[in-house]
Structure 1
Amino acid sequence: MPPTLKDIASRANVSPALVSMYLNKNPKSRMSAETRQRIDAAIREMNYHPSALARSLRSGKSMTIGYATGNIVGTFSSFRTQMLLQEAYRFGYQLLISLVPFYDYAQEQKILNSLLDSQPAGILYNLDLRPDEETARRLKGFPILQLSGNNPAYNNFDFERQTSFEQAIELFSREGKRKLAVTIVSHYGDWCRCITETCWKHDLEVVYIPDTIANKPNSLCEMLSASGADCFLSYSSTIVAKMLHFCEQQKIIKLPSCVYSYTLPSDYISHPAIRGVIVNPFRESISECMKRMIEMINNPDGPIECRTLSTQFLNVADLARFYNTQQEDPYYEPILVVH
């Protein structure tokens, strides 16, 4: 049986209340250096570890943050999960990860309620937040932060892409491009809306390619050819890389000019078809979204806000320099790949 607080007190010959004050660093506790040393020695000798659950019950505050996501397999998803975990730990919290297998929307409601049952201090939600009436009631006043969500009833953290879209589409326009193909997950997200509005300004026709097609390079190339698109914008570097590799294998020479979203050094693509990238600031997003989460935990009655970080459009030369900088940064060392 693991040692209890009373066992530590008995070993150190002090009261349990004094041990509790020592463990919780109570500023009102007054004890001699010799008493502190006895308590510390008893803790080490008996290999005592305070119960996180007991502490939560006493303080009324859980030291866990829930994280609901649909994928931890890919490079980006797994690295983001790892860095969110480390950032939470820096604030004294543990990350409670709940995975919805391959974005099974039917399971999201159960996952969300299961997380709420675990009574975390807050929840980072990387899924489609559409709670039913009962779950919405449970969430009222609860610190839940959407990552890239768009439900206006809840706090949100996302990237601001409008300026980057303007620069990318201006580049296509200067090259004389007339039809832009865009990969999308949904017709209703900000990604689709912002690109559509920007293309209208520059008199560019838009062709939407759902990710179910875009993730199959042969189907993507067929749709690009059939649509007559002469430029291509994708939210995924993987989609672009697979498409270019397929074209090389099939000896397809006529390729659209490409721009894609870039986040990690694993996204780097060196190819004549690449015209630039839209950089999502990864490290800053991890830091800022966790700061926002802690802020919401400490002030659950605060106003609902949509916080954003600005993206940056980089041309090919600037992208190469940016990639080299990331390669030299120890922060990204776990995922560095050779291109």
Structure 2
Amino acid sequence: MNSAHPKIISGNANRPLAEAIARRMSFHRGERVRLCDARVERFNDAEIFVEVFENVRGEDMFIIQSTSNPANDNLMELLIMADALRRSSANRITAVIPYFGYARQDRRTKARTPISAKLVANLITEAGVERVLTMDLHAAQIQGFFDIPVDNLYAAPVFALDIKHHFDNLSDITIVSPDVGGVARARDLAERIGADLAIVDKRRAAPGEIASMTVIGDVKDRICIIVDDICDTAGTLCKAADLLKSTGAREVHAYISHGVMSGPAVERVAASVMKSLVITDSIQPTTAVRNAPNIRIIPTAPIFAQAIQNIANGTSVSSLFNDDTLAPIYEVAYPAA
């Protein structure tokens, strides 16, 4: 194991998460870790400017920047920060992207459409990034869009710890995938907690319009937990919750990796039959999200801080895929019974 001391720099996308990661790394290393002194700002014409105020020559640099809304601005911040560090002779640049924007454009769905996720991967690589650390990519094949190493963390182990902490009888729980494409993600979480699995089969009449939804599996008198990677406008999520409730579910909850929560999402969730929606802080939550009575946010700083330290030390990142490995990291949030 190397005695590595990585440096962290943050853009404006989710600075509270970056600060939380730095605090957690301070705990790991027994010394204060602070964000690299820099400014990331805009000129009057909205051009982005980055200036790093401290020496980074030969350093192992980690840029913490989700490419969430405004996606284009946050992506450009990431690219320009990477270029600034590369031109300042940083030894290695790792992009820590808790939420990878454009991930839903991972294939051509029609003629004459782009594969934007691949384009973004090319931009990040050309900017000088040598490794990417992210969480719950919308499609696993996006890892192959990069010609550099990609470490894709999973929220499922953290969700499993949270479910075990907040639900007394796991035998009453059924994990639900809101569509056929998310079955693997839902099955993974179901296996971690020993729960049953159900699927909501939805058919679209047109983009954004759902023609019909059907539940595959027994949910009667069950505590249903919907699992997905992204909650954008929450329309499909709330309709799935209504369907589960009308099919006989006792309670409906949801665990979502990335709370985009755009447009009327918060209002829809607040008015829905869901008892709770649990999201991570991979995207900085708005005031409305934080104040919503049935939305709860769980931290990702512990897992990202450990992953950064493992990458810097040259040790295993895949060890963080296990519930047992994460339990000590999250012992403050979820104390042992």
TM-score of the aligned structures, taking structure 1 as reference length? 0.42
Which structure has greater strand proportion?
2
State the TM-score, normalizing by the size of structure 2: 0.42
Relative to its length, the structure with more helix (as a share) is: 1
Q: Which has the larger radius of gyration?
A: 1
